């Protein structure tokens, strides 16, 4: 029988070892973010006999903190029971030596989460646990399904009883295990068989880590929208959204999971399965992983993200040169591209803005005035480096434009003579339905504006975006296959919504990524 350990009750926000209620659902909280775009979750899994897997998972989640800062959790098994600990907050807020002490075992999964539909509640924290079979299973999800309503209807699930697409998947797996006899067979592969049945029904973006009492399983959708990689320990295996999570636990990078692949890890080693029809498999890694989401020390498509971002800056300098006194980044994600721009253009590189690392990414901003205040809390100018200078300011993207508009005003107030904004990606015009928090076209500044109109709104002297062909070339993997839907409107998977509608947020996806 599985034991579930949760970090808090539905009221108390402080995780303590003494509080171990059953998982429950909290109250939805509506938030406006200071940041322009948010990714939706990091996943981690480890199978390592005689190793402190809970502590390895804790370390791995640290390396994936940038992918989700609203909640964190892990599930651990000793081969008999599954223990789950999760709570709202950063990894360091959720876990401590006291509440991790019961988490003994040799296999584990972990999860860091961003909500992508404004719902930030304890009930949506992951991993999700279900209890069919001898020990049940746990699931962590990075991505967003686009056929959730269809899946719920087919499964007879009532609206309002499920709060996330991850919950829908867990429900389908539970039903499949029970229909198959839940544990009546002696091979212990109930979860594996259920996945082979359920996965072909899913449409959208999903990188899963799952576990029962004997297996850790990684799954990547047929398009490979979100990254997932495999690493090797001396006596075990690791799955992670990004390669730095392998580095931090001392695992050697083996490979990225292929789009449409399922990797099963157990006492015998690893097995690779392919649940999806061949015609569905078409690599479409989210291009924004290279632009913004992934850590600069990550490797995607065998390319280092930091080097790719520097090449984006070099391409920008070639495409849109300008006379200036200093090239400066918008920290932190604009730094590599600014370095590349400065190197190619010969204009000196310098820092003009300091980022407050402690404001976090959940600043509640109910009005535009508060959003602007939030930007000032996040960024502050270095006046001595700015006054009297013509600046090239390099950023990775413009989504809502809140940050850039307030930043341009700050730079002028600090004495900048000219502000030339350079963006290391094309205009962001279309909402993402594959795991990023841009569900409405009405929120996207460039959706219906020309580049000149965006420039006028932001208040900069000139504005230029990196052309798509140049961006693809800068990745070093132009022919590998990318999703560019947010820039081109070319969606690899049909979404059940009319893209011309101003009410895209009404799409019935429930809350993506748990």
Residue boundaries of the structural domains of the chain: 42-284, 302-480
Contact of 30 with 53, CB cutoff 8 Å: no
| Angle, CA of 201, 205 and 210, to the nearest 5° | 75
Residue 243: both structure tokens together: 């390669």
| Angle, CA of 117, 199 and 215, to the nearest 5° | 100
Give the pLDDT of the chain (514 residues) as one tens digit per residue. Answer: 444 444 432 222 233 333 332 232 222 222 333 344 555 699 999 999 999 999 999 999 999 999 998 999 999 999 999 999 999 999 999 999 999 999 999 999 999 997 654 466 777 899 999 998 777 999 999 999 999 989 998 888 776 777 789 999 999 999 999 988 765 565 789 999 999 999 999 999 999 999 999 999 999 999 999 999 999 999 999 999 999 999 999 999 999 999 999 999 999 999 999 999 999 999 999 999 999 999 999 999 999 999 999 999 999 999 999 999 999 999 999 999 999 999 999 999 999 999 987 765 433 344 556 666 778 888 999 999 999 999 999 999 999 998 899 999 999 999 999 999 999 999 999 999 998 867 678 889 999 999 999 999 999 999 999 999 999 999 999 999 999 999 999 999 988 664 443 333 333 444 445 4
Q: Which fold has domain 302-480?
A: Rossmann fold (3.40.50)
Catalytic choice (30, 41, 483, 486): 41
Residue 225: both structure tokens together: 């929208």
- pLDDT (0 to 100) of residue 184: 59
- pLDDT (0 to 100) of residue 10: 25
Alpha-carbon dihedral sign for residues 446, 222, 176, 215: negative
Query: What residues contact 318, with CB distance under 8 A and at least 6 apart?
Result: 344, 470
- pLDDT (0 to 100) of residue 441: 86
Helix, coil or strand: residue 315: helix
How many whole angstroms separate alpha carbon 98 and alpha carbon 54?
Answer: 12
Quick one: which of 59, 100, 112, 77 has its CA closest to 217? 77
Tell me if residue 41 is catalytic: yes
Q: Angle between the 165-179 and 190-198 helix axes, to the nearest 10 degrees?
A: 120
Query: What residues contact 498, with CB distance under 8 A and at least 6 apart?
Result: none
- pLDDT (0 to 100) of residue 6: 46
Helix, coil or strand: residue 377: helix
First-last CA distance in the chain? 24
- pLDDT (0 to 100) of residue 80: 93
Quick one: which of 243, 226, 305, 296 has its CA closest to 483? 226
- pLDDT (0 to 100) of residue 495: 80
- Omega before residue 332 within 30° of 0, cis: yes
Q: Which fold has domain 42-284?
A: 3.60.20
Q: What element of type H or E holds 168?
A: helix 165-179
β partners of residue 418: 390
Quick one: which of 424, 505, 377, 493 has its CA closest to 35? 377
- pLDDT (0 to 100) of residue 27: 24
469-493 burial string, b = 16+ CB within 10 Å, else e? ebbbebbbbeebebbbbbbeeebbb
Whole-model pTM: value is 0.87
Contact of 155 with 165, CB cutoff 8 Å: no
- pLDDT (0 to 100) of residue 65: 95
């Amino acid at each position: 029988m599985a034991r579930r350990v949760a970090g808090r009750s539905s009221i108390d926000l402080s995780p303590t070892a003494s509080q171990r209620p059953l998982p429950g659902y909290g109250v939805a909280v509506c938030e406006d973010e200071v940041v322009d775009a948010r990714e939706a979750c990091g996943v981690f899994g480890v199978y390592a006999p005689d190793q402190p897997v809970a502590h390895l998972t804790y370390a791995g989640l640290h390396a994936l903190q940038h992918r989700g800062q609203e909640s964190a959790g892990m599930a651990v098994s000793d081969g008999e029971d599954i223990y789950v600990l999760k709570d709202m907050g950063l990894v360091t807020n959720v876990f401590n030596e006291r509440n991790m002490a019961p988490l003994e075992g040799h296999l584990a999964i972990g999860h860091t989460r961003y909500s992508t539909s404004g719902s930030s509640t304890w009930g949506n924290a992951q991993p999700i646990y279900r209890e069919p079979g001898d020990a049940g299973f746990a699931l962590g999800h990075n991505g967003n399904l686009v056929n959730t309503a269809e899946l719920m209807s087919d499964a007879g699930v009532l609206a309002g009883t499920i709060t996330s697409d991850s919950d829908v998947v867990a429900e389908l797996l539970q039903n499949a295990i029970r229909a198959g006899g839940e544990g009546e067979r002696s091979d212990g592969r109930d979860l594996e068989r259920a996945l082979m049945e359920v996965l072909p029904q899913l449409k959208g973006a999903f990188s899963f880590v799952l576990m029962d009492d004997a297996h850790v399983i990684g799954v990547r959708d047929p398009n490979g929208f979100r990254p997932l990689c495999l690493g090797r320990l001396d006596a075990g295996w690791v799955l992670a959204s990004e390669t730095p999570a392998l580095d931090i636990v001392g695992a050697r990078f083996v490979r990225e999971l292929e789009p449409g692949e399922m990797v099963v890890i157990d006492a015998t080693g690893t097995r690779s399965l392919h649940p999806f029809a061949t015609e569905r498999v078409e690599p479409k890694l989210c291009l924004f992983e290279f632009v913004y989401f992934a850590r600069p020390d990550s490797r995607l498509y065998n390319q280092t993200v930091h080097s790719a971002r520097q090449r984006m800056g070099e391409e920008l300098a070639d495409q849109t040169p300008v006379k200036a006194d200093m090239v400066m980044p918008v920290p932190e994600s604009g730094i590599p591209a600014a370095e590349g721009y400065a190197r190619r253009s010969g204009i000196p590189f310098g820092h003009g803005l300091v980022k407050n690392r402690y404001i976090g990414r959940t600043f509640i901003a109910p009005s535009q005035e508060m959003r602007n205040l939030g930007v000032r809390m996040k960024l502050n100018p270095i006046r001595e480096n700015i006054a009297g200078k013509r600046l090239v300011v390099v950023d990775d993207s413009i989504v809502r434009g809140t940050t850039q508009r307030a930043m341009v005003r700050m730079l002028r107030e600090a004495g900048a003579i000219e502000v030339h904004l350079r963006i290391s990606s094309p205009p962001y015009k279309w909402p993402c339905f594959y795991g990023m928090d841009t569900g409405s076209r009405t929120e996207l500044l460039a959706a219906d504006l020309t580049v000149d109109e965006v420039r006028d709104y932001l208040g900069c002297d000139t504005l230029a975006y990196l052309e798509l062909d140049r961006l693809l070339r800068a990745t070093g993997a132009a022919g590998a296959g990318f999703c560019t839907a947010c820039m081109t409107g070319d969606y690899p998977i049909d979404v059940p919504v009319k893209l011309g509608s101003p009410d895209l947020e009404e799409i019935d996806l429930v809350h993506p990524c748990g």
